[in-house]
Amino acid sequence: MTPRKRIAILASGGGSNAEALMKAMQAPDFPAEAVLVFSNVPGAGVLQKAAAYGVTAKVLHHKAYPDREAFDQAVLAVLAGARPDYLCLAGYLRILTPGFVRAYAGRILNIHPALLPKFGGPGMHGHHVHEAVLAAGERESGATVHFVDEGVDSGPIVLQQRVPVLEGDTVEHLAARVLEAEHLAYPRALEVLCKNL
């Protein structure tokens, strides 16, 4: 049997996408295993989720470092100890420095709560995305799993999961439906990627 790919998950918050990934990776036939959960926020909810799934968790607070480059170098040192094949960004609220992206070029995945290339880029995260989708009168939205490059939300798309925008939708209702789509799309994209490489 092919060895399972080693996955490090980076998250800043509650970690619902991280949990969806860890849950999927519990299946014995899933082609990847979670070897590390990393957070830049002490006390982030994702750390409890990692403990519940028996996954090693590490934290470095970004505010303890003088700049983004110094912080990312420290994160790379933590990651080196886990030897991941892929990194999955799951609500990781840091824009990666070019040096970080180059260190894992072609091996970093992210999930975005819209159908890229629409509604991506700097400032497009969380409720801002859903507000923009509704303001534009879109008929559908969804989740996009994509590779991370040195831009913001600009890397090659791996997989998209579409959801309808319903009449009278609020930001909260749309966000909840898109989040459900994210929880389906991210494990599926990771599985496809690991099986085909």
Structure tokens at 190: 């990771």
Q: What is the arrangement of strands in the sheet containing 32-39, beginning at the earlier edge strand? A: 57-59, 32-39, 5-11, 86-89, 108-112, 140-147, 157-164
Asked if 178 and 130 touch (Cβ cutoff 8 Å), the reply is: yes
Task: Report how far residue 70's alpha carbon sits from residue 72's, in angstroms, rounded to the nearest whole number.
Answer: 6
Residue 161, amino acid = Q
Element (DSSP H or E) covering residue 189: helix 171-196
Closest-CA residue to 143 (of 118, 121, 166): 118
| Catalytic hit among 112, 130, 146, 183 | 112
Other C-beta atoms closer than 10 Å to the C-beta of 29 total 7
Closest-CA residue to 175 (of 134, 116, 127, 125): 127
**Is residue 128 annotated as a catalytic residue, yes or no?**
no
Annotated catalytic sites, by residue? 112
